[in-house]
């Protein structure tokens, strides 16, 4: 009986530490310090709105626990543009042709999803992006949170999480 318990403990500890079990507790926030200006070839296959804002179109890599890039997020860095937010509203967003969504690429720069909105800053809101439910070094879930609250102090409802669809190879 003691041996059976010992074997069960060994088996359970193996699966708990194995990559098969995944790193479900890991919650990695998109790190804006690692973002860099998007190379022109990446923008070649995207809509013209990215070209209008080329100096502020940045790639933000997402790395796994082994520091390997697994995803790249292309976003318009409103926070770096110097555009005064009080003059930046829905009308100017459209007239300037600013991108409306951040684009998620795999490590080979194939589009695997889009984030509704611009991260980290889409005036007047700041949207934080978290990569969770890691399996075999790849995030299977992307979660969002607003840093601002409504005027009455209640939290803002974030966008729905994106889930990895392994069959189609995209986040939905």
What is the average pLDDT value for the chain, to the nearest integer? 79
pLDDT tier at 1, thresholds 50, 70, 90: low
Tens digit of each residue's pLDDT (9 = 90 or more) over 6-24: 333 444 343 343 344 455 6
Has this prediction a pTM greater than 0.85? no
Q: Check residues 129 and 83 and name the one with the higher pLDDT.
A: 129
Range list of H helices, 2-89: 2-17, 40-43, 49-52, 78-81
- pLDDT tens digits along 40-86: 888 888 887 777 778 888 999 999 999 999 999 999 887 777 655 55
Question: What SS3 state is found at 110?
Answer: coil
Which residues lie closer than 8 Å to 100 by C-beta, 6 or more apart? 49, 93, 116, 117, 118
Is 130 strand, coil or helix? strand
Going from the C-alpha of 38 to that of each of 10, 50, 60, 75, 159, the distances in angstroms are: 48, 10, 9, 9, 25
Backbone angles phi, psi at 65, to 5 degrees: -65, -15
Q: What is the pLDDT of residue 58?
A: 93
Residue 65 CA to its chain's centroid (Å): 16
Region 90-97 average pLDDT: 57
């Amino acid at each position: 009986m003691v041996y059976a318990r010992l074997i069960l403990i060994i088996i359970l500890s193996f699966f708990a530490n194995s990559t098969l079990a995944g790193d479900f507790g890991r919650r990695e926030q998109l790190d804006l310090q690692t973002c860099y200006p998007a190379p022109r070839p990446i923008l070649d296959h995207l809509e013209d709105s990215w070209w209008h804002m080329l100096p502020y179109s940045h790639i933000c890599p997402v790395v796994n626990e082994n520091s390997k890039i697994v995803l790249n997020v292309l976003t318009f860095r409103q926070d770096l543009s110097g555009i005064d937010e009080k003059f930046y509203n829905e009308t100017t967003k459209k007239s300037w042709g600013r991108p409306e969504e951040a684009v998620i690429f795999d490590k080979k720069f194939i589009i695997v999803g889009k984030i509704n909105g611009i991260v980290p800053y889409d005036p007047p809101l700041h949207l934080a992006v978290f990569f969770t439910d890691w399996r075999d070094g790849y995030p299977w879930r992307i979660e969002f949170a607003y840093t601002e609250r409504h005027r009455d102090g209640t939290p803002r409802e974030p966008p729905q999480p994106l889930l990895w669809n392994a069959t189609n190879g995209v986040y939905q």
